[in-house]
Amino acid sequence: MGIMSERGLDVGASPKLSGAHSLKLAHDDIRHIKSVLGRLSAQEMNDLGLPPAYWRKRLRDIAQCNQLSKGQLGEIDRLLELLKA
């Protein structure tokens, strides 16, 4: 939790990004991650220093920091399931 400013704003809190720009950024990030996961095995990701845990964190960050569509949330869920395998 952040600190309340003089104007009553929560300083330090991370509000979710919204709007068309945010949706496009989230879409691009999801598409990038999907592309990487479709090309590399878990071993190849580990060899590159980007293990499945890194990609799970990226997906969780996208979900937590953006107001996503149901389709985007579903895609994140599918990718997280893929990373469990």
CB neighbour list of residue 65: distance below 8 Å, 6 or more residues apart: 14, 16, 17
pLDDT of 13 over the 60 cut: no
Angle at CA of residue 11, ends 5 and 16, nearest 5°: 140
State the average pLDDT over residues 37-63: 94
Q: What is the pLDDT of residues 71-82, one digit of tens each?
A: 999 999 999 999
Query: Using CA atoms, how far apart are residues 29 and 23, in angstroms rounded to an integer?
Result: 10
What sections of the chain are H helices per DSSP? Answer: 20-39, 42-47, 52-65, 70-84
Query: Using CA atoms, how far apart are residues 52 and 2, in angstroms rounded to an integer?
Result: 30
**What pLDDT score was predicted for residue 39?**
95
Range of the domain at 72: 16-84
Q: Domain for residue 49, yes or no?
A: yes
Q: Which residue has the higher pLDDT, 4 or 75?
A: 75
Average pLDDT, rounded, for the chain:
84
State the average pLDDT over residues 39-56: 94
Q: Domain for residue 4, yes or no?
A: no
Q: Domain for residue 36, yes or no?
A: yes
State the average pLDDT over residues 41-70: 93
Number of domains in the chain: 1
**What pLDDT score was predicted for residue 26?**
92
